[in-house]
Amino acid sequence: SDKATVGKGVYDMACQACHNPGIAGAPKTGDKAAWVSRIDQGMDTLNGHAINGYQGADGVMPAKGGNMSLSNDDVINAVAFMVESSR
């Protein structure tokens, strides 16, 4: 999607440091098994967790990955990239 295409740049800048290696319980981008239950929650839930932060059983997702200079749309686009890469 267009969101995912735009989101790759945001991901490379702000998300990959945790989501490539799977630091602090972050699901690795491209790991279908790690993402299936998350994707099943729906995009609204995923986007909300990424924007507002989330304490999960396996770790914590800081609000906007700790980069408060990102807009909500930046985060939504990065989530779209991660989901499309992990289906």
Query: Nearest to residue 15, comparing CAs of 34, 87, 80, 32?
Result: 80
Q: Which CATH architecture describes the domain 2-85?
A: Orthogonal Bundle (1.10)
Q: Would you say the C-alpha torsion 73, 19, 65, 63 has a positive or negative sign?
A: positive
| pLDDT score of 56 | 86
Strand, coil or helix: what is 60? strand
Q: What is the pLDDT of residues 42-84, one digit of tens each?
A: 999 999 999 999 998 888 999 999 999 999 999 999 999 999 9
For the segment 16-41, the average pLDDT, to the nearest whole number, is 96
How does pLDDT run across 2-20, given as a tens digit for each residue? 999 999 999 999 999 999 9
pLDDT at 50: 98
- Domain limits, the chain: 2-85
Greatest alpha-carbon pair distance for the chain in Å reads 32
Mean pLDDT of the 24-46 span: 97
What DSSP string describes 30-70?
A: T-HHHHHHHHTT-HHHHHHHHHH-EE-SS-EE-GGGG-TTS
Residue 38 binned pLDDT confidence (cut-offs 50, 70, 90): very high
User: Of the candidates 56, 55, 50, which has an alpha carbon nearest to the alpha carbon of residue 82?
Assistant: 50
